[in-house]
Structure 1
């Protein structure tokens, strides 16, 4: 069932809410929407879980807002959704940018409604390189991406999608992701890219107290595997599963392993 829920500053946030049982809340990566988790929905729904997919503002069917796309605002939108749906004991799953927002959510809202956290190819503690931080993408590269969005967004999307995979990828699958990304607003893509360039969630990681599963591709060229060491140092309770055959898009490169790993973690009583 699709729902529109009022988020921060009255923005309408689109939510896919289907199934019964323990809720699993999905936060998508840039520049897609909740539909990128289709193969997780297909796996968990028949196993008795409730799937809740949230489209960030400016993406999917959520409102295009010409205001703040910072992590605080996106985390507040998530809080509005969980409050509206009366969510408790949920599993929060964040991919890439969604992983950074999930991290901010856990710190800013003290893990409201969340029992466990799963970070997939997470863009943490920060996405961009800085003088004191050598891991990540150069800020100038992100700025160049923003500039290209304004002149040839389809080309930017196609080039970005090529970087996601390690294993050979079906052309049809790349086309599907391209269509998801084209469904986003260009303005939402721009402002969230700038947020990724400038935000830092290092202090937020230290405030996570729930059991956390970290899934990361060893061949990831978007968010280097090097960030995993810092995540394990900062989060108190972590389980790390490396995906040796995966790039950034482990949801495609090793779909079955990802789904099995998530299920084992969710079912574990610890």
Structure 2
């Protein structure tokens, strides 16, 4: 598969484009690369969808040294990509901060988005405690960001695929490239306030996929219900799953995504 690139203000976004049919665009979680969708994308392509996955600013094969990072800048990149693809309204699958980006984009450009799948979703800033503030400060310390992030990453995946060790090595290599850790720090410093402020402007149908063992939330079910209520969205709790449900249970998630898409207005 040949990587494609889109020039946007201040940098270049890397993406893959495979399959034919209704468009599904996938946004990775913070600190991850578009290969996060290595299991879900081929399943959706086989089901008759065109799937585009892209790298966040500063990560994967996207360029480095951006002036800003976060869910709002990612949303602007998403909107630019959707306009570039010019394939009509898309279904957007956003994981973690990718969910906040989908919310922001739909509020700003509802003509671009047909529906949203929000997985392990952040659509607002998580409440902090003294322990989480100390942890965040440590993550932002030069020299500690990469090892601490990579030690935390496995906790997102209580159900790990067979290629997990290989994938972690690949991610470690990417984060070792110049400028990549700066992107992770930028994402860690960012806020989802702009997405939360736009929740009442969302018009696209949505489905919330939340793992019962998602460690990023003190009460995953409560957060999923809150999002579902705000967006009038269906909520599906995935038993034993973590922050990346499409990695741990790609067959189940692909079936849920297909059902959701088939239920959308034509």
Output the TM-score relative to the length of structure 1. Answer: 0.87
Write out aligned runs for 1:224-235 (5 A).
224-225=219-220, 226-235=222-231
SS in 1 for 2:63: coil
SS in 1 for 2:140: helix
- Counterpart Cα distance in 1 of 2:210 and 2:165: 20
Contact 2:26 2:94 in 1 (8 A): yes
Query: Structure 2: which 5+ residue stretches go unaligned?
Result: none
Deviation at 1:84, TM superposition (A): 1.3
Deviation at 1:242, TM superposition (A): 0.6
Write out aligned runs for 1:1-270 (5 A).
1-9=2-10, 11-107=11-107, 109-129=108-128, 138-147=132-141, 150-167=142-159, 169=160, 172-180=163-171, 182-184=173-175, 185-196=180-191, 199=193, 201-223=195-217, 224-225=219-220, 226-236=222-232, 238-270=233-265
Query: Structure 1: which 5+ residue stretches go unaligned?
Result: 132-136
Deviation at 1:69, TM superposition (A): 1.0
- Counterpart Cα distance in 2 of 1:175 and 1:187: 23
* Structure 1 vs Structure 2 CA RMSD: 2.2
Deviation at 1:117, TM superposition (A): 0.5
SS in 2 for 1:214: strand
SS in 1 for 2:207: strand
Contact 2:92 2:113 in 1 (8 A): yes
Contact 2:36 2:247 in 1 (8 A): no
Output the TM-score relative to the length of structure 2. Answer: 0.88
Deviation at 1:254, TM superposition (A): 2.3
SS in 2 for 1:6: strand
**1:17 to 1:33, Cα distance in 2 relative to 1, 3 A:** same
SS in 1 for 2:39: helix
Count matched residues.
258
SS in 2 for 1:12: strand
Deviation at 1:128, TM superposition (A): 4.5
Contact 1:6 1:80 in 2 (8 A): no
**1:67 to 1:128, Cα distance in 2 relative to 1, 3 A:** farther
